[in-house]
Amino acid sequence: MEEREETREAEWFVPKLGPRKFRLLVGLSFYPYSLMNASYVLIGSLLAPQVHYDRMVGMALVYLLAVGVSAHSLDAMAPNKPWGAFLSRRQLASLAVVCLVPALGLGLYYALSFAPLLLLVGVLEFFFLLAYNLELFKGRFHGDFWFAFSWGFLPVLAGFIVQTDAVSLSSLACAVFGFSTAYVEISASRPYKALKKERSGSALALASKLESVLKGVVASVIAAAAFLLLHALYG
């Protein structure tokens, strides 16, 4: 019997029904974590004295495309092929570019039209998107600190800046919240992935506990964004 390649299709967020290639494609987006990343943008935007909801939604879309699809597609090109070979390197690169181009275009539009300060955040995020996911510079930026900074800290600031073209103490404090929760997420995710590959009962039990931590962090950040949004709309 042909041995199936090792992939991450057993992850909790991968659909259990449907064609295998479709399930892996959905899993490749890491949609719970991508929604968590977009939630940071909402949180930052909702701190502004006056919220432009079109900018908030647009900036969240920028992150969903750039991080949710492009960054994860680049990450899947790693030599260890974490999602197997269901897509070739060329297909993954094409998927990354197709989603990154509109994300960059939309981000540039907001920067040039409303918030020039956003250009600085955009340059930093573009650098980390390549340096982290492609492990450039000998993987120097492929660590927990830089993940939390680019994935949690900067998106909060991006959400606030697109509304105000400024940085405030409250936005910096909230960006620390983004950094902290993203740091917890990546710190739990790394051992979780390693334990999932083991077959012993103790390893799987610990992996299950870490999975609960991951779900809790994702739910907490999304819930915080939902609370702030509902408060802004109806509070």
- What backbone phi and psi angles, to 5 degrees, belong to 8? -100, 25
What does the pLDDT look like over 62-103, one tens digit per residue? 999 999 999 999 999 887 778 888 899 999 999 999 999 999
pLDDT of residue 133: 92
C-alpha to C-alpha distance for 51 and 60, rounded to whole angstroms = 14
Neighbour-count burial for 170-197, b at 16+ CB within 10 Å, e otherwise: ebeebbebbbebbbbbbbbbeebeebbe
Strand, coil or helix: what is 113?
Answer: helix
pTM, two decimals, is 0.94
Is 84 within 8 Å of 11 (Cβ atoms)? Answer: no
- pLDDT of the chain along its 235 residues, tens only? 334 456 788 889 999 989 999 999 999 999 999 999 999 999 999 999 999 999 999 999 999 999 999 999 999 988 777 888 889 999 999 999 999 999 999 999 999 999 999 999 999 999 999 999 999 998 899 999 999 999 999 999 999 999 999 999 999 999 999 999 999 999 999 999 888 777 778 888 998 999 999 999 999 999 999 999 999 999 7
